[in-house]
Structures are given as C-alpha cells and as structure tokens.
Amino acid sequence: MLRLSRALVIQEIELLIDDSMGHIGRHEWSVRGVDCRGERHSYGAPAYSFDLDILNVRPKGGADGR
C-alpha cells in the first residue's frame, strides 16, 4: 500500500488554504482542481469556549472526481 508522508499531506493542505485566502467569507469554493467547503462549529460555556474549523476537500466535480 502506498503511504503518504504526513509532511506532504500537510503541505498540500496548507497550499489549498493559502490559495483560498481570496475566498474569505465564503463557505464553498474551488481551488487547484478541488472543491472545498469550510465549516466552523463553536461552543461556549461560562468557564471555557472553543471553535472547531472543518475543511472538507473533494476532487472537482464530486466524490469520484467526475
């Protein structure tokens, strides 16, 4: 089985994020031949709060890349 280096995968994700900076404020966009969707989930309590950012990436045109 082909294994991907974690550093390589992280670098590709960083490139997608860097290239998508022109899409700030949008929840869905396309860049580098992939469709991206960003979501933010937030929770707040009296003693703490947190935000969770989700980036979904699929080949352009759907899950199978068509």
Show me where the domains of the chain are located: 6-59
Match 């969707």 to its residue by tokens. 37
pLDDT of residue 32: 81
Residue 20 CB contacts under 8 Å (≥ 6 apart), including other chains: 29, 31, 36
**pLDDT of the residue at 24:** 66
Going by DSSP bridges, is the β-strand pair 28-31/49-59 parallel, antiparallel, or unpaired? Answer: unpaired
pLDDT in tens, 12-66: 878 777 766 666 677 888 888 888 888 889 999 999 999 998 888 888 876 554 4
pLDDT of residue 15: 79
Round to whole Å and give the CA distance between 43 and 21: 25
